[in-house]
Amino acid sequence: MADVVTVLLPGALVRLFPGAPRCVDVEAATVGDAIAALDRRWPGMGDRLCDSTPAIRRHLNIFVGGERARLDTALPPGGEMLVMTAMSGG
Amino acid sequence: MATQVMLLVGTKKGAFIVDGDASRRGWSLRGPFCETWPINEVIADPKTGVIWAAGGNEWFGPAVWRSVDFGATWTHSSAGLAYAAGEVPIKAAWSLALGPDGTLWCGVEPAGLFRSDDQGETWSHVVGLTEHPTRASWEPGGGGLILHNIVPHPVDAGRVWVAVSTGGVFATEDGGASWAPRNRGTRADYAPEDQRYPEHGQCVHALAMAPGMPDRLYQQNHCGMYRSDDGGRQWVSIEAGLPSTFGFPAVAHPRDPDTLFLLPLNGDQAGRYMPDAAAAVWRTRDAGASWQALRDGLPQSNAFFGVLRRAMAADRLEPAGVYFGTSGGALFASGDEGESWAAIAEHLPTILSVETLVRDG
């Protein structure tokens, strides 16, 4: 079983999933695992975070240990995964 | 309950609903819905009142939103609304249409078609269109490589027409398994002179089906206005008498197959606003043989706005209401088939689509 990590989600995302908190603990070894866990809890959240490439959506950034992460980036036990919207729009 | 008219408005910053009654004089605005996502088209099932909105958000990708309570609450789904891994991902949902068997069709960017057999909960890719041999030659127009218009046959669920910018019109007669281009007779002015009537590659802007005559289609193209009386196999120009050959929307009358509403702009290289900066909807009552400008109540000076491909619609009342929304965020309504107009909303975001839902009393 993977260790628990804490995921911090942007407000614009949680507004799409009523009841979802900004801060959630999941068991995951990689960023991709964590997104899969989020999707199991809030069906459809995975599609909002990843495209079909598959890759983290272009205008989202995920940081692990202060570094920009990819789907295969490992999550340290007890660590944080920070999901942020990028500068975008018009 | 008295008859209610709802205008379903897609904008660059969310969906809006404008509520009115059969008089079509007093209106009230609700919104923005869909978390202010860009919404390219909003439609409703006239039987159930379920509303769907197609859009895409730069952060979170494409989705089709749904409301089963006339806009009070919304959910969203993109389950299955995806190309295969490794392909260019879908950026936005662009168009929606409901078939006679309840199939919900959705066009996307980059251009392709999806279908839902469960009211928009889940989607499946219509692979036959993506695998059409011409697909590799489709080029993005000004709005991107988009499948922006879907016209289902009103009775035969197997027959559907779609419009791709820039690929042209394609039709299926077997529910989407196979597709054929339907562009003969429409021009491609940007091709060398001896190649201006190709089989595909034209920049179609809008398709409209004549009521009661499903083989009669009207088309607004980047290069001209057209009518087909054989399901799009052959098109004839109906642009004589109009102020330009360029525009975006085309809207059929709810009952009269000879009546069509267009909104010509001044030209694709002239600014794409109202001709002479004076707004008019143009109407034919004889299938495009002659045209009448309808200006009463529309701004006749300094009208430097455009009207995009899905941003005009008619209701089914008698007389028919006609509505259009502008690039500058104004919404105009006519309750008398275009004879007179009034601005019913201003200062909205750029309007991308207008549709109607009539609820009987």
How do the domains of chain B map onto residue ranges?
4-247+346-359
The answer to whether B55 touches B34, Cβ cutoff 8 Å, is yes
Beta-bridge partner residues of B293: B282
Q: What is the mean pLDDT of residues A22-30?
A: 97
> Is residue B308 within 8 Å of residue B253, measured between CB atoms?
no
The listed CATH number (3.40.50.880, 1.10.3720.10, 2.130.10.10, 3.40.50.300) that belongs to domain B4-247+346-359: 2.130.10.10
Q: What is the ipTM of this complex?
A: 0.94
- pLDDT score recorded for residue B313: 98
Question: d(Cα B343, Cα B158) in Å, to the nearest integer?
Answer: 40
Confidence of residue A90 (pLDDT cuts 50, 70, 90): low
Q: How confident is the model at residue A2, as a pLDDT?
A: 81
Q: Any idea what the Cα angle at residue B164 is, between residues B337 and B284, rounded to 5°?
A: 25
Percent above pLDDT 90 for chain B: 96
Q: What band does A10 get if pLDDT is binned at 50, 70 and 90?
A: very high
A37-65 tens-digit pLDDT: 999 999 999 999 999 999 999 999 999 99
Binary contact (B63, A47; C-beta < 8 A): yes
**Per-residue pLDDT, A38:** 98
| Nearest by Cα to B41 from B138, B163, B124 | B163
Q: Do A44 and B61 touch (CB under 8 A)?
A: no
With a cut of 50, which residues of chain B have pLDDT below it?
A: none
- Taking CA B254 as the corner, what is the angle to CA B172 and CA B288, rounded to the nearest 5 degrees? 80
Q: Which residue has the tokens 């394609």?
A: B170
CB within 8 Å: A51 and B76: no
Are B59 and A59 inside 8 Å of each other by CB?
Answer: yes
- Contact call for residues B15 and B33 (beta carbons, < 8 A): yes
User: pLDDT tens-digit profile of B29-49?
Assistant: 999 999 999 999 999 999 999
Q: What is the count of residue pairs from A and B with beta carbons less than 8 Å apart?
A: 52
Length of chain B: 361
Question: Which residues have CB under 8 Å from B351's CB, separation 6+?
Answer: B9, B10, B11, B307, B308, B311, B325, B326, B327, B329, B330, B331
pLDDT digits (tens, 9 = 90+) for B239-249: 999 999 999 99
Instruction: Pick A44's closest partner by Cβ from B79, B89, B90.
Output: B79
Instruction: Look at residue A68 and tell me whether its pLDDT is greater than 70.
Output: yes
Read off the pLDDT band of A87 (50, 70, 90): confident
- Pairing relationship of beta strands B236-237 and B213-221 according to DSSP bridges: unpaired
Of residues B4, B148, B147, the one with CA closest to residue B71? B4
Would you state the pLDDT for residue B142?
83
**Residue A25: is its pLDDT beyond 90?**
yes
pLDDT of residue B29: 98
Indicate yes or no: CB of A44 within 8 angstroms of CB of B78.
yes
Smallest Cα distance from B338 to chain A, Å: 34
As a whole number, mean pLDDT of residues A1-28 equals 95
Of A47, A59, A88, the CB nearest to B78: A47
Cβ <8 Å between A51 and B61: yes
The CA-atom distances, in angstroms, between B85 and each of B61, B114, B132 are 15, 16, 19
Domains of chain A: 4-85 (3.10.20.30)
Of A12, A43, A53, the CB nearest to B59: A12
A15 interaction partners in chain B (CB closer than 8 Å) = 35
Q: Which two tokens stand for residue B352?
A: 């991308």
Let me know: does B9 contact B344? Beta carbons within 8 Å. Answer: no
- Put simply, whether B90 touches A (Cβ < 8 Å) is yes
DSSP H helical ranges for chain B: 127-130
Please tell me whether residue B67 adopts helix, strand or coil conformation. Answer: strand
Residue A89 has pLDDT above 70, yes or no: no
Contacts of A86 in chain B (CB under 8 A): 59
Contacts (Cβ under 8 Å, ≥6 apart) of B280? B243, B263, B274, B293, B294, B295, B298
Judging contacts by C-beta atoms under 8 Å, the chain A residues touching residue B32 are none
- Work out the minimum CA distance from B350 to partner chain A, whole angstroms: 11
